[in-house]
């Protein structure tokens, strides 16, 4: 086991890192990591030190020979990496709060992936990701990049289209959460449930659900019609679905579909949070503070269970599972964001999709999905149009394209409102948008 196996985590000071460390430790027999590099920006020094110290205690307690390195020099860290995970947040939670609050001021949902918030997160994040891709190309060209920075779909597509990196995978915990949630509804072990996923990030549908390989979709749809089961995935407090709608659409929606098929109710909730200063960013801010409080406890040498309540739970564990599958060529099936190549008919061949894939040492290979069901084609294509326009805006620093992206987004759908929101948000995030202000 003396062969080098180096993982680099960009945004290593994240509160999620202990889950990642735990994920690596518990799979040590399958992924014999020799070095874990946690990298962050100077501004995050305190957090990185805290998380790094906890990581060292965890490794020590587990008795595995993994070196933990902390670094503020991305290039130094990337050198000869085997896997690079990315979980950064340009502008920290303060920027997310603006992403959520400014749109709400204008009466529309912010949302950090497919709404106005997601647009601006993309504008801030994509240039940084493209920089990382260039560095990876130079310093560790054979490494796999596993990104769970949101908006994960757009970030993946931007990397595929605007960098020379092909080994780039976007990872989201929503589809994994759906499998877990449905397993719980069915009262069976998670490993027995398999869903055929197809769509885009935060815009994914379960086209089929299998228990031990046999379709249970009808049964699951029935269960989800029960208001008590509406939020079978934890991360969004969902409204119940109209049973007629579920019967008609005949696929499993993801939690984010509440934004599109129940916009008014979701907006009402968000406005309530807005007024009580309890938007997601603000809630997360508090959770983070309490987590770091715990992390600083020098007697803590395991991942604290509270972390599982954080919305992004299972992300880091999913990343470890993915690393193990690639490293070991396991050929198991996982839902990922990768290049379409015709897996989903009607979506761009070269663009990113979220889809069930077989994981090989050579990367994910999408299962053939074929045509999407008629009723879901439009919304998925709309979000893909939004994504592509937003990515172009990010790469070109184009205000007009940002406005266009927001106008065609179903959560805004108004040209003048788009102008107002974009202009206010460009100003608010000026510091992190150099391509727009040169």
CB of 175 to its own copies, least distance (A): 17
CB of 94 to its own copies, least distance (A): 27
Residue 343 DSSP label: S
Known catalytic residue at 261: no
Residue 331 DSSP label: -
Contact segment (CB under 8 A) with its own copies among 17-25, 64-72, 314-322, 328-336 equals: 328-336
How far apart are the C-alpha atoms of 249 and 230, rounded to whole Å? Answer: 15
CB of 422 to its own copies, least distance (A): 8
CB of 337 to its own copies, least distance (A): 14
CB of 338 to its own copies, least distance (A): 10
- Of 55 and 169, the one with the shorter C-beta distance to its own copies is 169
Q: Does residue 376 touch its own copies according to CB under 8 A?
A: yes
Task: Kindly tell me which residue out of 124, 202, 280, 401 binds its own copies, with binding defined by CB under 8 A.
Answer: 401
Contacts with its own copies in 183-242 (CB under 8 A)? 194, 208, 210, 212-215, 241-242
How far apart are the C-alpha atoms of 6 and 261, rounded to whole Å? Answer: 44
Of these residues, 256, 295, 314, 432, which one is catalytic? 256
How far apart are the C-alpha atoms of 265 and 279, rounded to whole Å? Answer: 15
Half-sphere CA count of 379, side-chain side, radius 13 A: 23
Contacts with its own copies in 266-295 (CB under 8 A)? none
**Which residues does residue 168 pair with via DSSP β-bridges, in sequence order?**
145
Contacts with its own copies in 135-194 (CB under 8 A)? 194
Q: Does residue 368 touch its own copies according to CB under 8 A?
A: yes
Burial of 118 (0-12, 13-18, 19+ CB in 10 A): buried
- Of 65 and 375, the one with the shorter C-beta distance to its own copies is 375
**Cβ neighbours for 223, distance < 8 A, ≥ 6 positions apart:** 185, 186, 229, 232
Q: Does residue 30 touch its own copies according to CB under 8 A?
A: no
Task: Kindly tell me which residue out of 34, 92, 285, 414 binds its own copies, with binding defined by CB under 8 A.
Answer: 414
Q: Which tokens hold the place of 284?
A: 């997360």
Phi, psi angle pair for 178, to nearest 5°: -65, -45
How far apart are the C-alpha atoms of 421 and 427, rounded to whole Å? Answer: 10
**Cβ neighbours for 422, distance < 8 A, ≥ 6 positions apart:** 399, 402, 403, 406
Task: Kindly tell me which residue out of 62, 93, 186, 358 binds its own copies, with binding defined by CB under 8 A.
Answer: 358
Residue 156 DSSP label: H
Do the beta carbons of residue 266 and residue 258 sit within 8 Å? yes
Contact segment (CB under 8 A) with its own copies among 25-33, 66-74, 288-296, 408-416 equals: 408-416
- Of 65 and 370, the one with the shorter C-beta distance to its own copies is 370
Task: Kindly tell me which residue out of 319, 366, 426, 432 binds its own copies, with binding defined by CB under 8 A.
Answer: 366
Question: 172 labelled as ligand-binding?
Answer: yes
- How many residues touch its own copies (CB under 8 A)? 73
Task: Kindly tell me which residue out of 382, 397, 428, 435 binds its own copies, with binding defined by CB under 8 A.
Answer: 382
- Of 77 and 193, the one with the shorter C-beta distance to its own copies is 193
Q: Does residue 265 touch its own copies according to CB under 8 A?
A: yes
Tokens 């959770």 map to which residue? 287
Long-range CB contacts for residues 215-221, cutoff 8 Å, separation at least 24: 216/186, 217/250, 217/251, 217/252, 219/186, 220/182, 220/185, 220/186, 220/252, 221/246, 221/247, 221/250, 221/252
How far apart are the C-alpha atoms of 186 and 11, rounded to whole Å? Answer: 36
Question: 202 labelled as ligand-binding?
Answer: yes
Q: Does residue 433 touch its own copies according to CB under 8 A?
A: no
Q: Does residue 42 touch its own copies according to CB under 8 A?
A: no
Question: 75 labelled as ligand-binding?
Answer: no
Q: What angle do CA 279, 283, 288 make, to 5 degrees?
A: 145
Q: Does residue 76 touch its own copies according to CB under 8 A?
A: no
**Which residues does residue 146 pair with via DSSP β-bridges, in sequence order?**
85, 169
Question: 74 labelled as ligand-binding?
Answer: no
- Of 22 and 387, the one with the shorter C-beta distance to its own copies is 387
Active site residues: 256
- Known binding residues for substrate are 96, 150
- Known binding residues for Mn(2+) are 172, 202
- Known binding residues are 96, 150, 172, 202
């Amino acid at each position: 086991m003396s062969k080098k196996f180096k993982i680099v985590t960009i945004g290593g000071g994240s509160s999620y890192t202990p889950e990642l460390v735990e994920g690596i430790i518990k799979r040590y027999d399958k992924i014999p990591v020799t070095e874990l590099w946690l990298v962050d920006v100077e501004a995050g020094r305190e957090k990185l030190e805290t998380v790094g110290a906890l990581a060292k205690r965890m490794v020590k307690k587990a008795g595995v020979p993994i070196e933990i390195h902390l670094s503020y020099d991305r290039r130094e860290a990337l050198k000869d990496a085997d896997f690079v995970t990315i979980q950064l947040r340009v502008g920290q939670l303060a920027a997310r709060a603006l992403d959520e609050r400014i749109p709400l001021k204008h009466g529309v949902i912010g949302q950090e992936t497919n709404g106005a918030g997601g647009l601006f997160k993309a504008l801030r994040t994509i240039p940084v990701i493209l920089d990382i891709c260039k560095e990876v190309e130079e310093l560790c060209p054979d490494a796999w990049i596993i990104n769970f920075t949101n908006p994960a779909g757009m970030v993946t597509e931007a990397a595929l289209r605007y960098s020379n990196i092909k080994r780039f995978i976007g990872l989201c915990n929503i589809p994994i959460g759906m499998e877990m949630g449905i397993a719980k509804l069915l009262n069976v072990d998670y490993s027995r449930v398999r869903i055929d996923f197809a769509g885009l990030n935060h815009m994914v549908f379960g086209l089929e659900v299998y228990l031990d390989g046999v379709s249970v979709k009808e049964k699951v749809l029935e269960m989800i019609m029960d208001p008590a089961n509406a939020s079978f995935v934890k991360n969004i407090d969902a409204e119940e679905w109209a049973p007629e709608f579920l019967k008609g659409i005949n696929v499993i929606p993801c939690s984010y579909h509440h934004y599109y098929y129940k916009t008014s109710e979701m907006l009402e909730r968000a406005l309530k949070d807005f007024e009580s200063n309890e938007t997601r960013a603000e809630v997360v801010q508090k959770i983070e503070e309490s987590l770091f409080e715990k992390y600083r406890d020098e007697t803590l040498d395991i991942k604290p269970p509270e972390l599982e309540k954080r919305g992004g739970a299972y992300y880091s564990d999913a990343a470890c599972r993915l690393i193990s599958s690639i490293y070991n060529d396991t050929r198991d099936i996982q839902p990922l964001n990768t290049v379409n190549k015709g897996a989903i008919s009607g979506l761009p061949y070269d663009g990113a999709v979220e889809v069930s894939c077989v994981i090989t040492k050579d990367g994910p290979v999408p299962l053939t999905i074929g045509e999407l069901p008629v009723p879901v084609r439009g919304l998925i294509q709309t979000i893909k149009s939004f994504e592509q326009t937003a990515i172009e805006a990010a790469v070109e620093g184009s205000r007009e394209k940002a406005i266009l992206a927001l106008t065609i987004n179903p959560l805004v759908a108004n040209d003048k409102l788009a102008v107002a929101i974009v202009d206010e948000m460009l100003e608010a995030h000026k510091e992190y948008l150099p391509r727009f202000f040169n």
